[in-house]
Amino acid sequence: MTYTFGPKISSSEITPHEIYLSRRHFMGSALATGAALAASSALSATSPVALSFSQNAIPKPSDTVTDRALATTYNNFYEFGTSKSDPARNAGKFTIKPWTVEIGGEVAKPKIVGIEELFKFDLEERIYRLRCVEAWSMVIPWIGFPLSKLLAQVEPTSKARYVKFTTASKPDEMPGLSYRVLDWPYTEGLRLDEAMHPLTLLTLGMYGEVLPNQNGAPVRIVVPWKYGFKSAKSIVRIDLVTDEPKTAWNSAAPNEYGFNSNVNPAVDHPRWSQKRERRLPGFFANHDTELFNGYGEQVASLYSGIDLAKFY
């Protein structure tokens, strides 16, 4: 395989962009990053467990890989809190065993698959960039297998046009669920052709190890040409459906978070520009944003004839 690289909170209060432009915030981020690098073992919510995967599938990264300490301590995972440091701090008691994923809807062979079965697939490592809508990004070596391999087992019917992901909702273990930032459980969705694309990865690990709790353990997806919130974490159910599913962020703020959410520098977020991004651990917007996050050669054909500004 080859690669080329409490109360309802209003949308205006969700991840305000000005904190990313504030010099004080950047200085605070620098201190936080240093602390993360020094104490990652203490903050990580799971003990690292090594994985076996195909060494031949590792692509050459076009960017420097983000330090693991930063990638596991600076996260968006609102079920554990809205601050970037909350997931690593609060995900320690999140239980991921036993774990099953139920697959149903418009399929000929619905099934419930245990996490142990997923680890029996041929795992490979892919270095993908994760870009968040707040204009920051990381480069992470993810471990998993194409989601299409799992969906092929359930045999989607001719009525299946979309894939809906439902994630875990455990109020006793996820303190962020007490805040009505979103309607829980978190849901996301893709068109079926997007879900079946070989770049869409059902992900079980990162940095050569199983996923830490704060990064979406035990199973998540990674869709590298879309904004990070499209890559659902801690998945418990996958449904193949006929109609476009309602998704968490699109339902909360449809004018800010479109269903497609392809990385597109020409489409600004209503409250800030998307033309540049801050590649962590950098302080400022230090990279030009690439259309489809740099994967246009592989995925642009999925959107032939579609107005990418209207269907953002």
174-194 pLDDT, tens digit each:
999 999 899 999 999 999 999
3-class DSSP assignment, residue 97:
coil
Residues 269, 267: Cα–Cα separation, whole Å: 7
Mode of pairing for the β-strands spanning 276-279 and 287-288: antiparallel
Give the mean pLDDT of 13-31: 36
Please, how many CA atoms are within 13 Å of residue 187, restricted to the half-sphere of its CB?
Answer: 19
Other CB atoms within 10 Å distance of the CB of residue 261: 22
* Confidence grade of residue 54 (pLDDT, cut at 50, 70, 90): confident
Q: Residue 66: what pLDDT?
A: 96
Q: What is the pTM of this model?
A: 0.85
Residues 185, 232: Cα–Cα separation, whole Å: 11
Q: 3.40.50.10470, 3.90.420.10, 3.40.50.1970, 3.40.50.300: which CATH number matches 32-299?
A: 3.90.420.10
255-280 pLDDT, tens digit each:
999 999 999 999 999 998 999 999 99
Q: Is the pLDDT of residue 252 over 70?
A: yes
Q: Name the burial class of residue 125, with classes exposed (0-12), middle (13-18) and buried (19+) by CB atoms within 10 angstroms of its CB.
A: buried
Give the mean pLDDT of 118-130: 95
Q: Please provide the average confidence, as pLDDT, over all residues in the chain.
A: 86
